Structure 1
Amino acid sequence: MASSLRQEPAASPAWFASLAILGALYVAPFVFRLFAHLALYLRRPKDLRRRYGAWAVVTGPTSGIGRSVALELARRGLNLVLLDLNAANLLEIAETIRSRHGVKTKTVLFDLSSVATPQGDEAMARLREAVEGLDVGVLVNNAGVARPGARYLHEADVEAWVRMIKVNLWAVTEVTAAVLPGMVERSRGAVVNMGSASSEAIPSFPLYTMYAATKRYVAQFSRSLYVEYRSKGIDVQCQVID
């Protein structure tokens, strides 16, 4: 009686299986990030008013990133408290926001480099008065100083360094401390600080030493603040730009 012979498939070599596993492990993080980005892109935009509150505070809203942020927050229905050192520019952005998006605005004239002076104390008092009783849910610490640009430390004017430190570091801290109590009371809020790749993406940033150092403070300030306040319903982000 004839019998049919069936050839069994050869077993895959062990090295091939090992390479397949290593390849899968290598690709997995990229696939995960791809799906995470797709989910972020496809999901519905968050209702910021419902999640955080009806008002946002934005520093440096008259140009650049600050202006774009202020207009986007207004487009999404938030009323705005705007802080800047130029009265005419403040008036222009406030009128633009109201005419385009029909939200409320308040303006606070505040030269952030004046913190820790009598003039700065007066401006901080105006800020506290402006936000008193408002449902402030978002704070964007956007204002910053990058000048005098690329310089050796000993070649730059000391007053320029002091101004940079006051705006990029000191004012961020004081404005945040002024707005946080209301968020804590309402158990919700978001603080967004503008950081820099100069302090995050590279180990050193020569000729921009003071700028990178101030932005490093902002990054660490944001991380610690997030841990400190997350149990109180407050989100904290440091957005890396540059």
Structure 2
Amino acid sequence: MTEETSPLTRKLGAFVALSGEELAVLDRLHRRRKTFKAGQDLVHQGQSEQAAYILASGWVVSYKIQPDGSRQIVDFQIPGDFLGLRSVLLHTSDHGIEAIVDIEAAEVLVSDLLQAFARTPRLATAILWAVSRDEAMVVEHLVGLGRRDADARMAHFLLELGVRLSLVGLGTRQGYGCPLTQYHLADALGLSAVHVNRVLRKLREDGLVTFRDGKVTFDDYKRLVALADFDPAYLDQSRPLLP
């Protein structure tokens, strides 16, 4: 995979047409590659002086450990996402990050980021856009937990993942590969695993979406969008924003 086709380049390309110099800086940010096994933590909650990562392949989950020891999933990250960037800038991680499948990620030190930002201000702006977009998704998830019923919540979540994956060339309106379990979905959506199973079965029987054998298939995309009242404007990826 060349830097011109890396997931992060595809993602940032929705915001700015990257120059040769900016691509070279991104290439340098990807040089310190590491692999992590499924179930392995990249970052521990409360950890300090850690690096950030750029996810090159695979999926990870961000989570918080509650005082009673239980775990709450905050979000899932896909290729092209930054991992732990906020925690690097704040010096202490307020959440953990765990690989869902075997992954490859590029380790990025804070000094790497500062040098990259100083050399290429447009690239710094594009990364700020990507981080702001991630924050907008967290807000949307909070709205979903408080305002959407279980069917709409699930539909919205699966549609959002599809839009995110399409940006990095890993999803279409027909569907996408998805390694999440029903337990992952339950934790992220504030439902029980039994309820998740029931909701997925209903959506499948209604001819809207099928989630089976690690693949999400949109059986009727338009009707699913209508059920979820899904407006992807908060994802802000309809056109390049900077020349």
Higher RCO (CA-CA < 8 Å; seq separation 6+): 2
Higher Cα Rg, which structure: 1
User: Which structure has the highest strand share of the two?
Assistant: 2
For Structure 1 versus Structure 2, the TM-score category normalised by the shorter chain is: under 0.3
TM-score, with structure 1 as normaliser: 0.26
TM superposition score normalised by structure 2: 0.26
